[in-house]
Amino acid sequence: MIFLNISLVWKSISRSKPSLKYLSTLNVKDGPYNFVDGEKSHPIDSIGFTNVLNPATSVVLARVALSGTSEVDKAVKSSKEAYNSWSLLSGFERGKLISSLGQKISENLETLAQLEVENNGKPIWEARLDIQSCADCFLYFGGIASTVSGKHIQLPNSSFGLIKRESLGVIGGIGAWNYPLQTCSWKVAPALTCGNTMVYKPSELTPLTALALAELAITAGIPRGVFNIGSGETGKHLCCHPDVAKISFTGSVPTGKNIMKLASNDLKRVTLELGGKNPLIIYDDCDLKNAVKGALLANFLSQGQVCSNGSRVFVQRSIIEQFTNEFVKATTQLVIGDPFDDKTQVGATISKAHAEKVLAYVTQSLEEGAIKLCGGERVQMPHPFENGYFISPCILTNCHDGMTAVREEIFGPVATILPFDTEDEVIRRANETPYGLSAGIFTKDLRRAHRTSSRLQSGTIWVNNFNVTPVELPFSGFKQSGIGVECSTEAIQCYTQLKSVYVEMNDSVGVVEHGEHYSFSIFCCIHLFEAAYLLHPFRNLLVHLRHLDSNDLAEADDVVGVDGIVQDSLERNDLVVDLYHRNLRHLCRKVVHHHLHDNCWDRDLDPNHQNFLRRVDHSFEAEVADNHLPSACRLQWVALEVLHFP
Ligand code: NAD
């Protein structure tokens, strides 16, 4: 989830220099913790409080009042009003403001990174990279804002169509705690770029940096109400709110499924960025040193609390011993400690409850037969960290694919080593999971890398690297790891909808005479057939035709489909089939003349029927005489009368 280059050795990762500008005006820790209509505010209907802790010390950082439905209504109303003017700005105008927010984030990088460390427990150097990636995200989307556009399509006789790409409205954003500002930025930046506004609910564990972002957005000139924040049970209310057009969610698979259910009540669109259980494949021809670094990045960044982590470490049998030794050696050298210390490589796990869950997975794995090579224990730290939840990075071996720790997302620093023999075998096993967020491949053979990557069912695949997420590349999940895309120009599709505008440049309203305009002709034919149906036993044909959706006939190619049906249904009627093959107009003509006229005309019909048939006949003749298909409208009208004929 961070933009990290493998050439930076884990231990000697370059530390960003503290920025000079601090958020002097920001003191988000003091609350209040909602941000609506350009200012921090208390919820108008608080439904309780939650304590936000520093995971490294368990000291309470903030006591956050939780919002109820009225507060969510207020935030959505504010965003809805802001949408009226924000959506009318040009992409270029919006882009300038969004880029300016990116600039503000860069300028305040150190303060934001420190806030993230205090609230999340990750090492400071990681937080700096995260915050830089947030700045990059706003700069990137600000840069492409003016390119969000539709298409012009030339239609016959100077008529034309516009395919407009339009914003959706108010977006409900819901984020996770592991990358608090990054999950928020990945939603806010593209959503606002496209002209939407957003009400965002940060994780109740880590609300602070999103709040700081909202304050920065105002200083960057983004109008009030465009980006609002609500804490508490806001997520559920957003999912059900009638004025919210879409939910963009980052979190676990079970919550994602719940959100999809809630959003389905009024068919809201959803983007779901969910968890995974990702494979890291180490082939025997890899650069072993690099592969070990890759395995560290794939398992122990952010205390292993990374959605895209590659915790199923598949290692080719011939190098498994050497790889495992090196991996264990490097892992046991990782420095666990004060997240604010530049030397720290492993910080604090987010909460007591989460740390206990991670450790329970380790215990269960041992019960299921795994062997622990290192870590997997709570590390008791000296004051002031004695109440923090630090877990030593863990490597398990003697694992098999059916083990709980190999199947389920642990979301902690636990790597499982799995031997394999062949390429086919490892690809099959790597794909044997309901998830598909990411995967890694270490090999020097590029053909093997491409073969493997094309067969892996994952949204992101890293070759000879891991957990690198430049904003230019789409980030998305296959299978149960998600729906929709974040980052890259592809994210634009997720925050816009298409509108077709047909512009007629001719005087007559109707269908232009053109070979391509079969659909309406066919439609008319169907009515004529239906007319025949009433009066003539073409039953099979007409039953089929009546069941065809007119959309099915919208393409000229579908004439072939109709052709098949006609063939089936009218086997016995050589004449019609033959005429049909010549062209549609002839078919109509024959239907009218030979079947309505010849077969029915002379029947003993009452005067009304006769009168009607005359009109059908006349209309059709007029069309043929004028050689002018728009008169099909008249035919249709007449044929419709047939349907309603008493
Ligand atoms: P979570 O699913 O417990 O919570 C995520 C958010 O949803 C929180 O803000 C929470 O308050 C909210 N929420 C919970 N129940 C809700 C409901 N019924 N309606 C609306 N909102 C609700 O996830 P988490 O523990 O915060 O984050 C960890 C998970 O997130 C992991 O599974 C991880 O893989 C995933 N994740 C995925 C990505 C990605 O980009 N694919 C990134 C980060 C984290």
In sequence order, the 6+-apart residues with CB closer than 8 A to the CB of 416 are 311, 312, 313, 365, 370, 396, 397, 399, 403, 405, 406
DSSP category for residue 48: -
d(CA 483, CA 467): 20
Q: Is the CB of 177 under 6 A from ligand 1?
A: yes
Closest residue to atom 14 of ligand 1, CA basis = 255
Q: Is the CB of 203 under 6 A from ligand 1?
A: yes
Q: Is the CB of 140 under 6 A from ligand 1?
A: no
569 pLDDT band, cuts 50/70/90, is very low
> What does DSSP say about strands 460-463 and 438-442: parallel, antiparallel, or unpaired?
parallel
What pLDDT is attached to residue 30?
Answer: 82
- CA 249 to centroid of ligand 1, rounded, Å: 7
610 pLDDT band, cuts 50/70/90, is low
Q: Decide if 617 contacts 498 (C-beta within 8 A).
A: no
* pLDDT at residue 571 is higher than 80: no
Q: Is the CB of 239 under 6 A from ligand 1?
A: yes
* pLDDT at residue 643 is higher than 60: no
Q: Is the CB of 619 under 6 A from ligand 1?
A: no
Contacts 24+ apart (CB under 8 A), 567-574: 568/540, 568/544, 569/538, 569/540, 569/541, 569/542, 569/544, 570/538, 570/540, 570/541, 573/538
Report which listed range, 19-28, 441-450, 530-539, 621-630, is most confident: 441-450
Ligand 1 atom nearest residue 256's Cα: 2
- CA 247 to centroid of ligand 1, rounded, Å: 13
What pLDDT is attached to residue 5?
Answer: 46
- CA 203 to centroid of ligand 1, rounded, Å: 7
Q: Decide if 542 contacts 533 (C-beta within 8 A).
A: yes
Pick from 171, 174, 213: nearest CA to 192: 171
Residue 433 C-alpha from the chain's centroid: 20
For 70-88, the pLDDT digits (tens) are: 999 999 999 999 999 999 9
Q: Is the CB of 235 under 6 A from ligand 1?
A: yes
Q: Identity (one letter) of the amino acid at 618?
A: H
Residues designated as active site: 273
Ligand 1 atom nearest residue 477's Cα: 41
* pLDDT at residue 26 is higher than 50: yes
- CA 175 to centroid of ligand 1, rounded, Å: 6
* pLDDT at residue 594 is higher than 60: no
- CA 256 to centroid of ligand 1, rounded, Å: 7
Q: Is the CB of 306 under 6 A from ligand 1?
A: no
As given in the structure block, the two tokens for residue 435 are 């998830």
* pLDDT at residue 8 is higher than 60: no
**336 bridge partner residues:** 346
Task: Provide Rg for the chain, Cα atoms.
Answer: 32
**315 bridge partner residues:** 282, 419
- CA 560 to centroid of ligand 1, rounded, Å: 50
Q: Is the CB of 173 under 6 A from ligand 1?
A: no
**62 bridge partner residues:** 52
DSSP SS3 for 215: helix
* pLDDT at residue 3 is higher than 70: no
Buried b (16+ CB within 10 A) or exposed e, 80-101: bbbbeebbeeebeebbbbbbbb
d(CA 234, CA 174): 9
Residue listed under structure tokens 């305009």: 517
Ligand 1 atom nearest residue 486's Cα: 40
Q: Decide if 246 contacts 270 (C-beta within 8 A).
A: yes
In sequence order, the 6+-apart residues with CB closer than 8 A to the CB of 614 are none
d(CA 26, CA 216): 9
As given in the structure block, the two tokens for residue 621 are 């003749």
- CA 437 to centroid of ligand 1, rounded, Å: 15
Closest residue to atom 19 of ligand 1, CA basis = 236
DSSP SS3 for 27: coil
Q: Is the CB of 307 under 6 A from ligand 1?
A: yes
Q: Where are the beta strands (DSSP E) in 475-594?
A: 475-476, 478-479, 482-483, 485-486, 496-503
d(CA 391, CA 348): 7
- CA 274 to centroid of ligand 1, rounded, Å: 7
Closest residue to atom 10 of ligand 1, CA basis = 203
Residue listed under structure tokens 């249709």: 636
As given in the structure block, the two tokens for residue 160 are 């034309």
Closest residue to atom 9 of ligand 1, CA basis = 203
d(CA 313, CA 415): 7
* pLDDT at residue 263 is higher than 80: yes
For 30-64, the pLDDT digits (tens) are: 889 999 999 999 999 989 999 999 999 999 999 99
What pLDDT is attached to residue 605?
Answer: 56
Q: Decide if 194 contacts 339 (C-beta within 8 A).
A: no
Testing ligand 1's pocket by substitution, the residue of 307, 408, 483 carrying the most ligand atoms inside 8 A of its CB is: 307
For 147-190, the pLDDT digits (tens) are: 999 999 999 989 999 999 999 999 999 999 999 999 999 999 99
What percentage of the chain reaches a pLDDT higher than 70? 75
* pLDDT at residue 532 is higher than 60: no
For 330-377, the pLDDT digits (tens) are: 999 999 999 999 999 999 999 999 999 999 999 999 999 999 999 999
* pLDDT at residue 454 is higher than 80: yes
What pLDDT is attached to residue 644?
Answer: 40
Q: Crossing angle, helix 91-107 and helix 124-144, to 10 degrees?
A: 160
* pLDDT at residue 572 is higher than 60: no
Ligand 1 atom nearest residue 238's Cα: 20
* pLDDT at residue 6 is higher than 80: no
Q: Decide if 475 contacts 186 (C-beta within 8 A).
A: yes
- CA 298 to centroid of ligand 1, rounded, Å: 20
DSSP SS3 for 451: helix
Ligand 1 atom nearest residue 175's Cα: 9
Testing ligand 1's pocket by substitution, the residue of 137, 174, 350 carrying the most ligand atoms inside 8 A of its CB is: 174
Q: Is the CB of 255 under 6 A from ligand 1?
A: yes
Q: Is the CB of 181 under 6 A from ligand 1?
A: no
445 pLDDT band, cuts 50/70/90, is very high
* pLDDT at residue 232 is higher than 60: yes
- Between 572 and 217, name the one with better pLDDT: 217
d(CA 3, CA 15): 14
d(CA 258, CA 25): 38
As given in the structure block, the two tokens for residue 561 are 């489909």
What pLDDT is attached to residue 250?
Answer: 98
Q: Is the CB of 236 under 6 A from ligand 1?
A: yes
Q: How many CB atoms lie within 10 A of CB 248?
A: 29
Testing ligand 1's pocket by substitution, the residue of 134, 231, 250, 273 carrying the most ligand atoms inside 8 A of its CB is: 250
Q: Is the CB of 315 under 6 A from ligand 1?
A: no
Q: Decide if 241 contacts 78 (C-beta within 8 A).
A: no
In sequence order, the 6+-apart residues with CB closer than 8 A to the CB of 574 are none
Please state whether the peptide bond connecting residue 43 to the residue before it is cis, i.e. omega within 30 degrees of 0.
no
Q: Decide if 189 contacts 98 (C-beta within 8 A).
A: yes
Q: Which of 168-177, 390-399, 520-529 has the lowest mean pLDDT?
A: 520-529
In terms of C-beta density within 10 A (0-12 exposed, 13-18 middle, 19 or more buried), how is residue 275 classed? buried
Q: Is the CB of 412 under 6 A from ligand 1?
A: no
* pLDDT at residue 447 is higher than 90: yes
d(CA 126, CA 250): 20
pTM: 0.80
* pLDDT at residue 635 is higher than 70: no
Q: Is the CB of 248 under 6 A from ligand 1?
A: no
Pick from 369, 111, 81, 63: nearest CA to 223: 81
